[in-house]
Amino acid sequence: MDYQEQYKRVLLSRAHCNLGKKGINEEFLNHVLRLLKRYKIIKIKALKSAANKSNIKEIGNQLAQATESYLIDIRGRMIILSKYPLKKK
């Protein structure tokens, strides 16, 4: 499957995991790393208690740096991370 098609499929699917009020901790990072290894592109939903619109970009960048992945997109409180960089056509 093309990587671009996989991204579109993830965009329309449900979130793989939720970021709750505990925030980014070691347990959550390990879970995200396992999901990235399995799915290559994942969707994370940040709950209201964890994020608001002003700091959602910071959370996305922190997750990308901590998991050594790429921040593909942020839509509302949804964060899409990828194990590999997305190539534009």
pLDDT tens figures, 37-52:
999 999 999 998 887 7
Note the pLDDT of residue 7: 86
Total of domains in the chain: 1
Q: What residues contact 16, with CB distance under 8 A and at least 6 apart?
A: 35, 39, 42, 43, 44
15 band by pLDDT with thresholds 50, 70 and 90: very high
Residues 86 and 4 sit within 8 Å (Cβ to Cβ): yes
Asked whether the predicted pLDDT for residue 54 surpasses 90, the reply is no
Q: In what order do the strands lie in the sheet with 17-19?
A: 17-19, 41-46, 78-82, 70-75
Q: Is residue 88 part of a domain?
A: no
* CATH number of the domain enclosing 54: 3.30.110.60
CA-to-CA separations, 74 to 7, 34, 59, in angstroms, rounded: 13, 21, 10
Domain that holds residue 23: 3-82
Asked whether the predicted pLDDT for residue 89 surpasses 60, the reply is no
Q: Is residue 8 part of a domain?
A: yes
53 band by pLDDT with thresholds 50, 70 and 90: low
The structure's pTM equals 0.88
Q: Is residue 55 part of a domain?
A: yes
